[in-house]
Amino acid sequence: MKTNRAVIYKGPGKVEVETIPYPELGITVKGQKRSCPHGAIIRCIATNICGSDLHMYRGKSGISSGFVFGHEMTGEVVEVGRDVEYIKVGDIVSVPFNVGCGRCMNCKAERTDICLNVNPEHPGGAYGYVDMGGWPGGQAEYVMTPYADFNLLKFPCSKERAMEKMLDLALLSDILPTGYHGAVTAKVSTGSTVYIAGAGPVGICCARSCFMLGASVVIVGDIYKDRLALAQSMGCKTIDLTTLTSDLTLNAQIEKILGTPYCDATIDCVGFEASGCGHSGSKKRSS
């Protein structure tokens, strides 16, 4: 019998690695069992820690003890349900953090974040996150993913090549597409000037995405010098937000760089633990 080990939330600021049951092709939420013949079981190879995990870890989300963290998984398919047609055992796949059915009107409109069929409480589901459908997280040896043909992204390269690039490919589950989505939503294109609030992982990926989309100048603001140094090393202009005053405002800093106090696009990559605005805000590191 196969075993499974996972990162379990035990209370604010405390997690433990424990043995949990090997996943089935199904899920039980609030006493109701739901079969998932359309699902697959993944052996997790790489799993990132998201800033959203840290919100729960710090006790800010009302999560209960015993919850399995993790929604940024990359792994190998070890089992598929009878209704899975395209994903095969042995495939190396990325697992997008949203759980979508691929069938409802929202999924068809590319709004998988508010899928109508994966959460009995309200639209929208995700792995390993509070109030998002009860789907167990992927900071584990094995995890079940529903609607495998729709949710799993198979890498087109060989298994050997995928394993060689695994730490890079792990970005595709959440961090890079979140930053890229912000850039696309802000309509960044050739010649754009962009201001990004936050130089954490998502902000850095957003900055890289802006350059990929053709931005001429990307400005990143943060309060942490190590993050600003990383942004600067990849070609960004940077603003240390701790230096802002009533006279030296953010707009004034942007004007020093661009010759105008405005950008074509602005993108918020700070996270929900941001507090206050400008120099009056708190200085707790966020995602």
Co-location of 151 and 196 in the same domain: no
- Domain with 148, as residue range(s), is 4-173
Domains: count for the chain: 2
- Strand locations in 30-123 (E): 32-35, 40-47, 73-80, 92-95, 98-99
Co-location of 137 and 229 in the same domain: no
Neighbours of 255 (CB within 10 A): 13
Q: Quick check: 136 and 128 in contact, CB under 8 A?
A: yes
Would you state the pLDDT for residue 274?
57
Compute φ and ψ for 65, nearest 5 degrees: -60, 145
Question: What residues contact residue 275 under an 8 Å CB cut-off, 6+ apart?
Answer: 281, 282, 284
Residue 265's CATH number: 3.40.50.720
CA distance 181 to 198: 15
Co-location of 114 and 252 in the same domain: no
Query: Is residue 237 in a domain?
Result: yes
**Rg of the chain over all Cα atoms, to the nearest angstrom:** 21
Would you state the pLDDT for residue 45?
96
pTM of the full structure: 0.85
pLDDT tens sequence across 96-141: 989 999 999 999 999 999 999 999 999 999 999 988 999 999 999 9
Nearest Cα to Cα of residue 278 among 245, 236, 247 = 245
Residue 135's CATH number: 3.90.180.10
Give the residues of the chain that fall short of pLDDT 50.
Answer: 285-287
Query: Is residue 286 in a domain?
Result: no
Co-location of 182 and 158 in the same domain: no
Query: Is residue 287 in a domain?
Result: no
Co-location of 116 and 254 in the same domain: no
pLDDT tens sequence across 229-259: 999 999 999 999 999 988 899 999 999 999 9
Would you state the pLDDT for residue 263?
96
Would you state the pLDDT for residue 148?
97
